[in-house]
Structures are given as C-alpha cells and as structure tokens.
Copies of this chain bind each other. A is one copy, B any other.
Amino acid sequence: MRTYDITLTISPDLVVWPGDPAVELERVEKIEAGADANVSRINMGVHTGTHVDAPYHFLENGGTVENLDLKMLVGRAYVLHVDDKVDVITPELLEKSDIPPRTRRVLFRTRNSDLWAKDHKKFQKDFVAISPEAAEYLINKGVKLVGVDYLSVAPFDDPIPTHEVFLKAEVVVVEGLDLSEVSQGRYTLYCLPLKLAGTEGAPARALLVGV
C-alpha cells in the first residue's frame, strides 16, 4: 500500500493567507554554541500550511479544534480530480463527477496543487474554491469532511458563505493540501491536527494510504 504525504512543509518561505501571521522558525538553543541539544521555536498562525478549520473559525459560538471528532479525521476518502479549466466547484460540476455514493470525505485535487508542486512564493488570489451552493450539495449528500488544495475552501473575494455553510453543518474543513502526486480514487485519510486548546483551527499532518 502506497502512502502519500499530502502535507505542506512549514517554513518561513511558505505562502500564508494575506494578513495572517508569518511563519517564524528559530533555533534558540544550539549544540555548536555549547547547549546540550538543539531546540527550536515555532511562531505562526494556526491556519498555516495544511490545517483544519473548526466551527469557531467563522461561528462565534462554534466548537473548537480539540473537540473535532477523530472518527471524521481518519477514514475512507475520495480524491476527485477537477479539470484545470474549472475556477469554482459548483453543484453542476459535482452532479457530473465520479464521487461514489455514500462518500463521507472528499478531497478536491485542482490546478491549485500545481502551485505547491512548483513551490510558488507569492499568494495567489485566483485559486479554485467551492461555491456555497456546492457546499450545500455536499452536505446533502452526507459529506462530513472536505479537503482543498489551496488555503481556503471559499473564493478569495467571498470567504464567509462557503465556510459558514460547512462549519454550521459541522463538516471538517481541511485546507492547504498538496494533492499534486495523488491520482483520482479511493484512499484512507489520516488527518491529525495539533491538539490546541480552544482555538478555531490547527495545523495538521495529513496522509493518504492507497486501499
């Protein structure tokens, strides 16, 4: 069984959402300076790189990330390849797609993944995202986890509606996946976010294992 690490590498060079904290990664104790051990410090926004959103990200009384159900974060998932010409994932696109019935976790591989493969250094506003209507469509089909390959499930110019639809329905939103190496099809997803107390999201490590 092949394992795919679909996680972005966190470094000061990693593109972050405009206005979010930059990534600082600093070695604060150094063996070469006489310390027993090398010790580093990380300072970053919790929506850095590959991460999950909890309801509290967009909902004032929403749940926080340490309470997300692990049963949702681990399990069978379907990776859908979306044509490079598509700008927004709509109900019409989903209706015609190959997502199997009873799919609970869907990851969308779009042209966004090429940006990670090319190691781009500048935030891109024209990333492929999910319309609020498509979010409703997925919820009606029973989807409980949605993953995308740029830093937001929602279009850049309209961040609130798609997030609200998903988060009100307690769908787990996974953002910042690198799906550039992954074929369309069925996998087992392991998406484990840091267990941060009371926050609206957390960085995660995410793997896909072939089934």
Residues of A within 8 A of B (CB): 3, 5, 7-11, 19-21, 25, 27-29, 31-32, 36-47, 49-50, 56-58, 60, 66, 70-71, 74, 159-160, 163, 190, 192-201, 203-207
Q: Could you list some 22 contacts between A and B, CB below 8 A?
A: A3-B70, A9-B197, A10-B194, A19-B29, A20-B39, A27-B200, A37-B159, A39-B57, A39-B200, A40-B46, A40-B196, A40-B201, A41-B45, A42-B42, A42-B45, A42-B199, A43-B43, A49-B195, A190-B190, A192-B207, A193-B205, A205-B205
Give the distance to chain B from A76, nearest Cβ to Cβ, in Å. 15
With A25-B198, A190-B74 known to touch, is A38 a contact of B11 (CB < 8 Å)? no
Q: Which of A193, A196, A198 has the most CB of B within 10 A?
A: A196
With A28-B21, A43-B42, A207-B70 known to touch, is A37 a contact of B196 (CB < 8 Å)? no
Q: Which of B37, B71, B163, B198 contacts A11 (CB 8 A)?
A: B198
- CB of A10 within 8 A of CB of B160, answer no
- CB of A160 within 8 A of CB of B195, answer no
- CB of A194 within 8 A of CB of B190, answer no
User: A49 contacts which chain B residues (CB < 8 A)?
Assistant: 195
User: A66 contacts which chain B residues (CB < 8 A)?
Assistant: 9
Closest B residue by C-beta to A71: B3
Q: How far is the CA of A172 from the CA of B39 in the complex (A)?
A: 17
Q: Which 5 A-B pairs have the closest CB atoms?
A: A11-B197, A192-B205, A43-B43, A192-B192, A38-B200
Q: How far is the CA of A45 from the CA of B43 in the complex (A)?
A: 9
- CB of B195 within 8 A of CB of A10, answer yes
User: A58 contacts which chain B residues (CB < 8 A)?
Assistant: 31, 36-38
Closest B residue by C-beta to A196: B10
User: A25 contacts which chain B residues (CB < 8 A)?
Assistant: 196-199
